[in-house]
Structure 1
Amino acid sequence: MLRQTPNGRRCELKREREDAVPDGAVSGGVAAIFSNREAVRPEIADSWERSLRSVDPSRGCAPTHTECATDLWNASPLRRPIDELADDLQQIAHAGFVVGVTDEWGTLLWTCGGRVMRRRAERVNFAPGARWSESAVGTNALALALHNRRPSAVFSSEHLVDTLHDWVCYSSPIRSPHGKTLGALDFSTTCKLANPLAMATVRAMAALVETRVRELQPTSVARDSAAKVALRCLSRTEVTVDDAPVQVSPRQAEILALLTLRPDGYTPAELSLALYGDRPVSMSTLKSEVSRLRRMMGGGIAAHRYMLTAPVWCDAVEVLRCLSAGDTVAAVEQYRGPLLPHSEAPGVVDWRHRLEVAIREAALQSNDPNVAIILGERIDHDFELHEHALNLLPPTDSRTPLVAGRLSVSRRNMV
């Protein structure tokens, strides 16, 4: 970090950002440019590079994602804890901040602040219903807190979008007792009012919210003895049990993915067919694999009809949930790539195809160019996706050359 006045640091950051992001373009990779320089933190440079794939730095404000923020807020597990802490948050806001709470995708659901700060915040659409994810509005503290799953601060020109350069933001993720990110709490103010104590305050308030979330859980959930399991199976395989990573075999990952994607479960014969196809595999082999997975999970799998009896979070299921809710932006942000890409199990191959077709069709039907741009990174060979994104972008958009390049490569590879 630079040891200089806030104004001096702001000027230095502005110069460094202009070097890295000339007219919204990037050359040679932002992260590489700053790997040995003090002015820009590595997490900011990495975020700029990710953000420039879908965000024009000259955009005026965050996009409105939903007109139903009130409904989302009423259904959020954060509403009651925030309501209980509202007086404390209002006091913080009156010190020159605007306070915001998002869901896990970065959609603002609740804000508070004094009249002057709220007016300033509304100019950049820091208001309920606006999307503040990295792919929607570029580098900001809310987006970094959600992406990196840790408290983050973004100062002035560290923001990618030009209209946010007068702001300083401090954010902390809010997690459930089982480690799932529920959203983020943010304190934002102007550069003149920046206060280093704000980071400690936002962390403390987020911890209080997490405590109330835990205390408000139904007794039956609190007493559940099964381990809390999460499966990430899009593009990679990662399993955590009680927030700790565990090693699983490819076959165990396949079984867990199939069970999460089909809540009503499988008969032993159905699961064997989904895993092995027509290959002659004994039923004892299947039972042994399921038993090992059950032990790893601390239970949670029924014995006669194989189905989950305890919640398992799964990124593939989240994609389908977002698509069912009509939230295409959240779906493409969650979709990191094909389901268990190295698996040849027939049931996994079928679900992989279903997911890719569903997310692709949703992107092609969307009028939001960000959707096709983001998905085009993950399905980079798809000519139609790149063409759709290019048709939605105005010629003056800084991302147009990037999408045109992807389209050219996909055309060439078709020959």
Structure 2
Amino acid sequence: MSVRTLSQRRTAIDTQWDCFLTGSGRTEKDSVNKDIMASWQRSAQYIQPHTNLAPIADEYSLKHTWQGSDLCQATLAEQANMNQLVNEGEMVAAIADTSGRLLWTAASKHMRPRAESVNFTEGGIWDESSVGTNAVGLSLALSRPVTVFSSEHFLPSIREWVCYAAPIIHPQTLECVGVLDMSTTWQHYTPMGQAAVAGIAQSISAHLPCAAPRAEIEIHALGQPRVIYQGEPIPMPLRQLEILCLLALNPEGLTLNQLHASLYGDAKVSMSTLKAELSHLRSRLGGHIGSRPYRLTVPFWADFLQIWKAHEASLTTEFMDLYRGPLLINSDSPELEEWRSCIDALAYKTLDKAVDTVMLVNRMGAGRIAGELVRNRLGGDLSH
């Protein structure tokens, strides 16, 4: 793509940014894509557009965290390739954790002073709540590869950049463990950049060590739900996931009538329908559901149970690490709705008592809902 064409694209985005900033006019459909516009709207809740620097964490402690991490070891396999791209493409590369903190960076002579001037260095915090729309924060928010071009950035100080980022997803647990970002000046934009960075992120993912299962069955139901059985993720529809959560909450077991009431409430659903769901769930879990009463017959771990233990032990950081959002937000099970309300109330209470605002800001990377809880706690302080 020619510099002239890129310049025209930048000018069109500039126009839409002015409209967004002043609240005048209407956004042209093709000038700013919906993900960027949504990010601008979120960003405006966190920071002022004239912010120029990313906040920075303790670089020394993060360096030790990085050097001892599985993510660091997995990155070594691609480090030579990334360094070559950095130098040949006049780029800066970075690996961020799931809160948007940069753990490792490498920069060409062309990009190093630019990166240092905005704290795009080890310790810099690049989630949306800290610096607004940028590739690291947007990739975390959307859980997929993204490109942020020039004036699509929220901060004026990085509108000379084009940034490509992709999440690093553990192939076994399907959990995001970090983000890879590669950036350069906007004149060097290439439509292949996003795919290239996504490919490197996948290669890093492939070198992550196998995760030791916490139990035979792992249930993650806070935020984005997933189930891991014998170390492998398994697909599971909402109704069966609801049943699994109810069995985890009642390890002593439930009669068919009790399970029906906990799952459906007063809804007119037949017992045969529930039995069919139980049969499908039992098949997915290798037959490890007992009957009379219905119960799980193998060890299990559940984030919504672990978070309760963290609360009882006053482990605030562990609590916020576990809280990725409400418990099965789409469930209308009476018992799960009650548990959801209790856990959300604990989250508000935990944040209200917390005095470490840096920790709270870092937790924003854990998910959109968790971020909303933190923003409500900090109120207007995040805009300063």
TM bin, normalised by shorter chain, reads: 0.7 to 0.9
- CA deviation string 1:186-207 (max 9, x = no partner): 1111224434443332123223
CA distance in 2, matches of 1:204, 1:366: 40
Aligned to 1:99: 93
Q: Is the 8 A contact 2:310 2:319 kept in 1?
A: no
**Aligned 1:242-321 pairs, distance under 5 A:** 246-249=236-239, 252-258=240-246, 266-268=251-253, 291-298=279-286, 306=296, 309=299
1:9-58 Cα offsets, whole Å, 9 max, x none, are 22221221111123xxx579xxxx43x52211222112212222223222
Q: Which has the higher contact order (CA 8 A, sep 6+)?
A: 2
Matches within 5 A, 1:15-414: 15-22=15-22, 33-34=26-27, 36-65=28-57, 68-95=61-88, 96-178=90-172, 179-213=174-208, 216-217=209-210, 231-232=220-221, 234=223, 246-249=236-239, 252-258=240-246, 266-268=251-253, 291-298=279-286, 306=296, 309=299, 324=315, 326=317, 334-335=324-325, 342-345=332-335, 349-350=338-339, 352-363=341-352, 365-366=354-355, 368=357, 389-390=379-380, 392=381
2:369, 2:152 → 1: CA distance? 26
Contact persistence 2:247–2:253 (CA under 8 A): no
1:102 and 1:110 in contact (8 A); partners too? yes
Instruction: For 1:85 and 1:4, locate their aligned partners in 2 and report how far apart those are by CA, in whole Å.
Output: 34
Query: For residues 195 and 385 of structure 1, what CA distance do their matches in structure 2 show?
Result: 36
Which 10-residue stretch deviates more, 111-120 or 151-160? 111-120
Could you tell me how far apart the structure 2 residues matched to 1:342 and 1:9 are?
46
How big is the alpha-carbon RMSD for the aligned residues of Structure 1 and Structure 2? 4.8
Identity of aligned residues (%): 26
Task: Report the more deviating stretch, 360-369 or 95-104.
Answer: 360-369
Query: SS at the partner of 1:126?
Result: coil
Of 146-155 and 162-171, more deviation after overlay is shown by 146-155
Q: Displacement of 1:168 after TM fit?
A: 0.9
Distance 2:84 2:125 in 1: 25
- Deviation string 1:138-182 (CA, Å, 9 cap, x unpaired) is 211122222223221111110112222111101122222233222
Counterpart of 1:407 in structure 2 is none
Structure 1 counterpart of 2:11? 11
Specify the SS of the correspondent of 1:130: coil
Q: List runs of 5+ in structure 2 lacking aligned partners.
A: 266-271
Work out the number of aligned pairs and report it: 361
**Alpha-carbon deviation of 1:8?**
2.7
User: Secondary structure, in 3 states, of the residue corresponding to 1:111?
Assistant: strand
**CA distance in structure 2 between the aligned counterparts of 1:330 and 1:21, rounded to whole angstroms:** 34
3-state SS of the aligned residue for 2:54? coil
Q: Distance in 1 between matches of 2:107 and 2:65?
A: 21
TM-score, length-scaled by structure 2? 0.73
Structure 1 segments unaligned to the other structure (5+ residues): 398-415
